[in-house]
Structure 1
């Protein structure tokens, strides 16, 4: 299946929606069920904020020509580049689909990245397919999965990629948890890790367009979905945000627009000149909700802002509207925040300065144009942190 602006076969862009009859323009969407074995006193378990100390970062090596076609080598190059950078700050374990893919990943990533071939993967989107790890404050660690279903089967309905192409990714969460030796349970909702943000201190934020959606949670109300997510994350308050439907395969994941810096502090990217109006309006709508929100502790949120790039000098004009020009899709490591740069010198520098000031950590900006452009995802989308106990 060809993407909208590239004469390649086949290849999924997670952000580009092929024109289809009947698809509307964007819409701005204005007791928990546990569903698995849980440790005693489950309320004490929580998913720590991403800025907390990590044991390691998990990633996945893309090797499917069914999914990527001729784009595969370029995507692999960006994954290897990112993995080697993360490995400067904390251990990285790369899951590869069998011995051949593992050998390929080892050659590309080098000796600083641990590659394993015993956790089968379909693709590279570990944030969406992998387990979310929880701690209990007493040395315990467990994990849960969000029942990945290829973004509501959008990969198939948008691009014609067979649903079976993602079969291994549907089981990554439990397989990885088993490899790591931690207890695991499936949540009673369907979604992706990139579709929810958590501060580790009781508050979640997510877009309704991802979760209150018949392609993931048919028949479930917002309150039912909220109760399950709060229970799983060990949180007590959800901030629901507007989202965009019908413009990208994720249905508007939050991690490209708004992120927690830490408890009580969020950052929002207000779209730069290259983003289509629908994303500009959505970013502003998310900002406006957050500035009027309080968290689980009753704190008024401190909302920091940055602006997206105004130019994409390396990207052909015909592809720019579908390019994920988000600085927000960073990955946090123990000593650094790794994000991207787009070639807009002034905006790249301003984003780097703002993120560094917010975190008090080194910020590394990489050129990941293939991953952000052809893949439509970024550094956050392809990493999953495992916290220290």
Structure 2
């Protein structure tokens, strides 16, 4: 009888500890939600692009990337506005010439003249959310060049400039948190997926705790469930952004890679296990869809060997098009087909990102949605 009593007490203690762990990992208090971020697949008013220019890395850099931006614009312009940020008037004229040469009608293209440091608008651009009345608001999160690894002063001003031009209310979060758009994934139903290495890192938010970060995300993004991966600080310039290897296709589907490919991407084994066991706000497991890496190491269009494979997870969901990074690789067709099956009402368009990939990013990294 004493043994039975001891066993029952032990089980109750374990159950209690597990419950506390669940509560710490998955807060459910929605009373502090002030703003909600629409998911990427929700209807867009348009997509923002920062066009490559010569003023930071030179003419060769710019010229090698132009074709990717022309292709993105061409794919998106049929079903939504494309807001193009040009460095100056000379660049606007040059870009317009590229679009006209490609047969892209200017009807749905909107130019803004803002100096930028680079092209990564997913990370430095505006985050559009809705307040409790449903009004669209721009959140201006802090951007410091991924921990002051690159110039960022011009890009950090972009959300404010867009808010002023659009006459949309802006929330200045620069002093609250450094947070790049590519560092977080939301499922549209209250769950956020992120790596600690890209957020709880002293090069972004020194001294910030997980609980503090969660409180900020709950208030400003409307999420109350968190899936935290450790990530890998120092792996590359972003300290392992989540959108390179794991994305939400919708509220019930998580897109990632198989175990070996995630290891190849240098995702820690503990993180892989956490990812595969992830559940949504209702504690239901996600349907896991696995995309391959490229079959071969990527080589740019100008012949530079990169000695690493490419990810297809970093795709972008437009109104009627899904822009998928392609690499002139046999697995392009495989990945495109899998992604197409996830979005039967949209058309997958493969975008050659080989030259862009040499600079550390893909399609999702250079696009930013503006909800309707």
Match of 2:284 in 1: 299
> Could you say what secondary structure the match of 2:42 adopts?
coil
> For the Cα contact (< 8 Å) 1:127–1:192, is it kept in 2?
yes
Deviation string 1:336-366 (CA, Å, 9 cap, x unpaired) is: 2111222222x22221111111222321112
What corresponds to 1:51 in structure 2?
41
CA contact (8 A) 2:297 2:307 kept: no
- Residue 3 of structure 1 aligns with which residue? none
1:79 corresponds to which residue?
69
TM-score, structure 2 as length reference: 0.82
Question: Quick check: which has more Rg, 1 or 2?
Answer: 2
The yes-or-no answer on 1:211 pairing with 2:199 is: yes
Distance (whole Å) between structure 1 residues aligned to residue 205 and residue 275 of structure 2? 25
Q: Structure 2 residue aligned with 1:182, among 142, 145, 168? A: 168
Alignment partners' CA distance in 2, 1:271 and 1:172: 38
Look up the match of 2:362. Answer: 378
| Consecutive unaligned residues in structure 2, runs of 5 or more | 1-30
Shift of 1:258: 0.3
Shift of 1:199: 1.4
Q: Does 1:364 align with 2:354?
A: no
Residues 232-381 of structure 1 mapped to structure 2, 5 A cutoff: 232-270=220-258, 279-282=265-268, 285-312=270-297, 314-315=299-300, 319-322=305-308, 325-345=310-330, 347-360=331-344, 361-373=346-358, 375-381=359-365
CA RMSD of aligned residues (A): 2.4
- Could you say what secondary structure the match of 2:139 adopts? strand
**Aligned CA distance change for structure 1 residues 84 and 318 (closer, same or farther; 3 Å):** closer
The corresponding residue for 1:19 is none
Post-superposition Cα deviations, 1:280-339, rounded to whole Å, max 9, x if no partner, equal 444x6544212222222332222211111121474499733356x111111110112111
Larger deviation, residues 120-129 vs 194-203? 120-129
Rounded to whole Å, the distance in 1 between the matches of 2:298 and 2:161 is 41
Over 3 Å counting, the alpha-carbon distance change for 1:298 and 1:281 in structure 2 is closer
Q: Unaligned stretches of 5+ in structure 1?
A: 1-40, 156-162
- Show CA shifts across 1:242-289 (max 9, x none): 31222210110111100011112110024877x9x562444x654421
Count of residue pairs the alignment pairs up: 333
Residue 148 in structure 1 maps to residue 143 in structure 2? yes
Q: Is the 8 A contact 1:272 1:310 kept in 2?
A: no
Contact kept in structure 1, 2:80 and 2:319, CA below 8 Å: yes
User: In structure 2, do the counterparts of structure 1 residues 204 and 313 end up closer, same or farther at CA, with 3 Å as the change threshold?
Assistant: closer
TM-score by length of 1: 0.79
In structure 2, the residue matched to 1:132 is: 127
1:64–1:122 CA contact under 8 A, matched in 2: no
- RCO (CA 8 Å, sep 6+): is it higher in 1 or 2? 1
Does the CA-based 8 Å contact 2:316-2:322 persist in structure 1?
A: yes
Does the 8 Å CA contact 2:299/2:305 hold for their aligned counterparts? no
